[in-house]
Structure 1
Amino acid sequence: MSKPTESELEILSLLWEMKQASVRQVHERLAETKDTGYTTTLKTLQNMHAKQMVSRNETHRTHIYRPATNQKDTQKSLLRNLVSTAFGGSAQKLVLQALGEENPSKEELDEIRAFLDQLENKK
């Protein structure tokens, strides 16, 4: 699968949440947060289908789209690419940058600590 554009990733995120949807349903969800035209949503989904990012059920008049890849695999691929290109292959630099830019809550820090403990215990 090719790397999704920002717009494609936004649509994939909706489809992962919705499981499947028509162009109208995707467009209505996008329109809640951004100003976009129906034909733009349609064209983006058609392009995503051509790139095999989504599958399309054409048995009814209204085509139903589904994500062709799962969220976790896509996130892993995007993260690998980001670490490689933006952080010189260093996951440490990525994490430090992310934590430095955000103000994580105590709960988030506790989850991060628990995850790090889990990683250390695997070694």
Structure 2
Amino acid sequence: MSSTQLGRVQLLIMQVLWAKRRATARQITDAINEIEPIAHSTVQTLLRGLEEKGSVSHETEGRTFVFLPLVVEDEFKQNATRDLLDRVFSGNVGKLVTHLLKNENVPKEEIDEIRKFINRRSKK
């Protein structure tokens, strides 16, 4: 489960499920359509694939499937970050942070927050 890789739209589906904790395919479709257009049939197909991967399950309420995430969001983020760090930056956190600060438009507030975190970690 922890090594589950998700495509971009699969991740959108999981983000909806993490936020709502449980949702029908229609509710998921509607939530994603607020961000970008997606066909309901596409969401249904991707949900079946996510079930096969063991990332979601469903309960039946009447004739409706209600989907639930089986992957914990924080665990997914931790594993995805570790995978990126290992594959792209050879496990070097400093290279990842440097790359982000050089190539992304990081607002001053976020830099200040990062600096505070680094200072707290340095004192430990």
| TM value normalised by structure 2 | 0.90
4, 15, 24: which is aligned to 1:13? 15
Query: Following superposition, which runs of at least 4 residues in structure 1 exceed 3 angstroms of deviation?
Result: none
Match of 2:31 in 1: 29
Q: In structure 2, how many angstroms separate the alpha carbons of the residues matched to 1:60 and 1:86?
A: 47
Instruction: Work out whether 1:56 is the aligned partner of 2:81.
Output: no
Match of 1:117 in 2: 119
Q: Which amino acid aligns with 1:114?
A: K
CA RMSD across the alignment: 1.3
User: What is the number of equivalent residue pairs in this alignment?
Assistant: 122
Percent of matched pairs sharing the same residue = 30
How far apart are residue 105 of structure 1 and its match? 2.0
How far apart are residue 82 of structure 1 and its match? 0.4
- Of stretches 97-106 and 41-50 in structure 1, the one that deviates more from structure 2 is 97-106
Unaligned runs of 5+ in 1: none
Q: Which amino acid aligns with 1:42?
A: Q
Deviations 1:14-55 (A, max 9, x none): 111111110000001111222221111001011101111112
